[in-house]
Amino acid sequence: MAEDKKRILEGYLDEDEAATEFGKTKQTLRSWRRKRIGPPWVDSPLGALYPIAEGRDYLRSNIIQPRAKTA
């Protein structure tokens, strides 16, 4: 049974793992979810789950490109 659960959740981070990966607190992630901002998540019976692939896409979408300094 535990092995099935592991397989189903493959590719997802739980709230603790996501907080660590994004360098934020669980409270920040909860606040973002209430405001519907931040990385995508799945509202599951097990709590908020963060798909790893979409988390990477979220980070890429927030890349800041430096501009060349003009004289």
Question: Tens digit of pLDDT for each residue in 19-70?
Answer: 999 999 999 999 999 999 999 999 999 899 999 999 999 999 999 999 888 7
Q: Which domain holds residue 14?
A: 10-61
CA distance 44 to 42: 6
Comparing C-alpha atoms, which of 32, 31, 26 is closest to residue 13?
Answer: 26
Q: Are 18 and 55 in contact (CB under 8 A)?
A: yes
Determine, yes or no, domain membership for 70: no
Residue at 43 is within a domain: yes
Determine, yes or no, domain membership for 32. yes
Write down how long the chain is.
71
Residue 46 lies in a domain: yes
16-34: b (≥16 Cβ within 10 Å) or e: eebbeebeeeeeebeeeee
- The model's pTM is 0.79
Is residue 49 in a domain?
Answer: yes
> What's the total number of domains in the chain?
1
Q: How high is the pLDDT of residue 5?
A: 59
